[in-house]
Amino acid sequence: MSNQNISVTLSSTRRQKPEDDKLVFGKVFTDHMFVMDYSGDKGWHDPRIIPNQPLQIDPSAMVFHYGQTVFEGLKAYYSNGKILLFRPERNFQRMNQSNDRLVIPQIDEELVLKGLKELIKVDREWLPKSEGTSLYIRPFIIATEASLGVHPASQYKFIIIMCPVGSYYKEGIHPVKIAVESKYVRTVAGGTGTAKTAGNYAASLKAQEVAEESGYSQVLWLDGVEKKYIEEVGSMNIFFKINGVVVTPALNGSILEGVTRNSIIHLLKHWNMPVEERKVSIEEVYQAYKDGVLEEVFGTGTAAVISPVGDLFWNGEKMIVNGGETGELSMKLYNTLTAIQVGKEPDPFGWVVEVEQEEK
Ligand SMILES: *Cc1c(COP(=O)(O)O)cnc(C)c1O
C-alpha cells in the first residue's frame, strides 16, 4: 500500500502568510492538505494533495453524531535550510492505536508519513523560520458514512492540515497556575483516555471553564474511580520532582501516552537521573510539599514541550512550587529537547527525521 501514488493538485491561488511575530495558533492554514478516503470495498485509497478547501459532508455523517474520529498533533521545524520532524512515526503508530479503540480502519503508517513529507514540501514556504516557531501538523480521521445507525462507519476521510505557529513562550517560560479537579473526570480506565479522540476534549471543557473562572489556566486530572491518583494536566502528561527523584504517573489504561513524555523519560535515563513511572496520589504530592521536598512540577506535550507548574491548588490549599519559578530541571529538559528538535544539539536517540528535499 505504501507504493500507492500520491497525486498532487496545486492551488491556483496562494493565501496571505502571517508574519512570524503575528502567528496565532490554529487560525491560518497552509495552501494545501493531504486527503485519503476509505470505503468498505476499496479500503484506504486515492491519497492526494489538493488545495486546502471546505469539505462537503452529509449532515448525517456519523462523526457529527457519535464522534467517531481521532487526531494527532506534531510539528515541523526549520533548521538551517532543512526541515525536521520529531519522531513522526510515533504519532502515526499512536493514531493506529486510537483507530483500534474507535474501530476506525488501520492506516498505512509509511504511506501517510510519505504523504506528510510531500505536503510539507509543497507548502515549504509556510514554514516559519524565527526561533521558537514551527509548522503545526494536524492529521485526523472522520467517519463520513451518512447514517444515524450506531455502528462503526463504512466510510472515512483521513486528512492532514497544517498551520504556522509562533513561539509558545514569547515572553520566556512562565509557570502556570493549576487547580486540582475533584468533581469532573476526563476519562476512566477502559474508556477512551488512551486514544486521541475528540470526545475526551469535549469532556474536559467544563472543568477547564470552571478553572479559568477562578484564575487557573488548566486542571490537574485525577483518576476517574477513586479521584485519588494523578493522571494528566490539561491535555499534557505530568511530572513531579520529589526529593531528587522524577516521578510520573504510570500508563494505566486512561492516560494518553505522549511522545514528549516518552522522550523526557529517555532523556532523564540518559542523564542517569532517577525516574519512576508509578501511581502518584495527590496526597503524596501534598505531603512532599509539606515536607519541603516537592521540587518541581511540569506538564509535557508537543505544543509547549515543557510547561512548569508554579501554583497547584487543592483542597483549599495553594502549593507554591519552587517559589513559583521555573525549576532547573524543567529548564534543562526544555532547552535540550527543543535544541534536539531544531538540530542544534546532537540527537543521541535518532529522533529527528529530515524531510528530504529531493525525494521521490
Ligand atoms: C496529545 C496529548 C498529550 C501529549 O502528547 P504529545 O505526544 O507529547 O504531544 C497528553 N495528554 C493528552 C490527553 C493528549 O491529548
Residue 212 lies in domain: 176-341
- The three state secondary structure string of 34-98 is EEEEEECCCEEEEEEEEECCCCCCCCCEHHHHHCCEEECCEEEEEECCEEEEECHHHHHHHHHHH
Whether residues 203 and 106 fall in one domain: no
Band of the pLDDT at 5, cuts 50, 70, 90? very high
Per residue in 282-326, pLDDT (tens digit) is 999 999 999 999 999 999 999 999 999 999 999 999 999 999 999
The cell 449532515 sits on which residue? 59
What is the mean pLDDT of the segment spanning 267-275?
97
**Per-residue b or e along 32-65, where b marks 16 or more CB atoms closer than 10 Å to that residue's CB:** bbbbbbbeeeeebeebbbeebeeeeeeeebbbbe
What pTM does this model have?
0.96
Q: Answer yes or no: is the C-beta of 256 below 6 A from any ligand 1 atom.
A: yes
- The three state secondary structure string of 123-156 is CHHHCCCCCCCEEEEEEEEEECCECCCCCCCCEE
Among 111, 138, 165, residue at a domain's last position? 165
Q: Answer yes or no: is the C-beta of 307 below 6 A from any ligand 1 atom.
A: no
Q: Note whether residue 170 is domain-resident.
A: no
Cβ–Cβ < 8 Å for 319, 296: no
Band of the pLDDT at 357, cuts 50, 70, 90? low
SS3 213: helix
Burial class (CB in 10 A: 0-12, 13-18, 19+), 263: buried
Q: Note whether residue 347 is domain-resident.
A: no
Whether residues 226 and 303 fall in one domain: yes
Cα(320) to ligand 1 centroid in Å equals 25
Q: Answer yes or no: is the C-beta of 301 below 6 A from any ligand 1 atom.
A: yes
The number of the ligand 1 atom at minimal distance from the alpha carbon of 303 is 9
Per residue in 22-79, pLDDT (tens digit) is 898 999 999 999 999 999 999 999 999 999 999 999 999 999 999 999 999 999 999 9
Whether residues 235 and 331 fall in one domain: yes
Cα(182) to ligand 1 centroid in Å equals 21
Residue 243 amino acid letter: N
The pLDDT score that the predictor gives to residue 172 is: 80
The pLDDT score that the predictor gives to residue 359 is: 47
Cα(45) to ligand 1 centroid in Å equals 29
What is the mean pLDDT of the segment spanning 207-221?
96
Q: Answer yes or no: is the C-beta of 196 below 6 A from any ligand 1 atom.
A: yes
Task: Reply yes or no on whether the pLDDT at 348 is more than 50.
Answer: yes
